[in-house]
Amino acid sequence: MKKNILLTVEDVVKKYGDYTALNKVNISVPESSIYGLLGPNGAGKTTLMRIINQITAPDQGKVTFNGEKLNKNHIKDIGYLPEERGLYKKMKVGEQVLYLAQLKGMSYNEAIEKLKFWFEKLEITHWWSKRVEELSKGMAQKIQFVVTVIHKPKLLIFDEPFSGFDPINAAIIRKEILQLRDNGTTIIFSTHRMESVEEICDHIALINNSKTILEGPIDKIKDDFQSNTYEVILKEKNLVSSQEFDILSKNENNYKIKINDNFKLNQTIDIINKNFNIISFKKETPSVEDIFIKSINNE
């Protein structure tokens, strides 16, 4: 079933003097999805996230949130975890999270209830009376994650959310992000870690040189980047290229082949099967990293 679109960015332009940070950028973020916002450093991702959060405004174009033009009333419906974190180092954790939760419009009692839930869930109740300066970077990250999600916004924006986490805590936060998505929250997820994109994103947009160069469901984009390449495992080790296919690489009896134009898959399998014993024959799907590099290099 096709999902409704929660956020659209249409032909957005943002300039700083003579520098164009965004040049007619377009994205459409479906409800209850994890949307990967990708691009090299300086591509314009942070500027776009700041516009969605109304920290700055576009010079041209339109941003629509939940069917309405983005406005100040939507601030309560958006949670933002920036890459550059900011907690008051001298304050105690409990005092600070209560203060920040109430800034998001929560009552004292509601904030206490929700904070208790999250602190118990992440097993960090013993941090309540610690000062922020006593926490490691990863511990502080957990606190900021809680503050970002505490008011149950419709849209969460995470900029490098796993930065500073060891593998165990990264897995914990990844699980929570997936659970938030499954419970109906829409998430924009910006990262340079392509393996994280593979694991959790439903849709992606690739921004380069201030423009959107790729956007859509991740499965469809992978299909579009298929290159007629297959991994073939045989019992034998003496397969050679032919008019039907080229061998791109070989490791013992494991071959990577590309079927040449004008030849069909079934033809190729039949030809190989006449002289060799096929153990497996599967299509190679490009990784997000492969797609990222190819798209940037072709720009």
Instruction: Report pLDDT digits (tens) over 128-187.
Output: 999 999 988 888 889 999 999 999 999 999 998 988 888 999 999 999 999 999 999 999
For residues 23-32, average pLDDT: 96
Q: Where are the domains of the chain?
A: 5-92+132-223, 228-283
pLDDT the model gives residue 299:
67
State how far the Cα of 257 lies from the Cα of 245, in Å rounded to an integer.
6
Element (H, E) at 17: none
pLDDT classification of 27: cutoffs 50, 70, 90 = very high
pLDDT classification of 218: cutoffs 50, 70, 90 = very high
For residues 226-254, average pLDDT: 92
Please, are residues 157 and 188 in contact by the beta-carbon 8 Å criterion?
A: yes
pLDDT classification of 49: cutoffs 50, 70, 90 = very high
State how far the Cα of 101 lies from the Cα of 116, in Å rounded to an integer.
12
**238-264 burial, b for 16+ CB within 10 Å, e for fewer?**
ebeeeebbeeeeeeebebebebeeeee
pLDDT the model gives residue 1:
60
Q: Over 90: is that where the pLDDT of 2 sits?
A: no
Q: Which CATH entry fits the domain spanning 5-92+132-223: 3.20.20.10, 3.40.50.300, 3.40.640.10, 2.40.40.20?
A: 3.40.50.300
239 phi and psi angles, rounded to 5 deg: -70, 140
pLDDT classification of 4: cutoffs 50, 70, 90 = very high
Q: Over 80: is that where the pLDDT of 33 sits?
A: yes
Instruction: Report pLDDT digits (tens) over 56-110.
Output: 999 999 999 999 999 999 999 999 998 776 788 889 999 999 999 998 889 999 9
**84-109 burial, b for 16+ CB within 10 Å, e for fewer?**
ebebeeeebbbebbbebbeebebeee
pLDDT the model gives residue 227:
83
Residue-averaged pLDDT of the chain:
92
Percent of the chain with pLDDT over 90: 75
Question: How many CA within 13 A on the CB side of residue 172?
Answer: 16
Percent of the chain with pLDDT over 70: 99
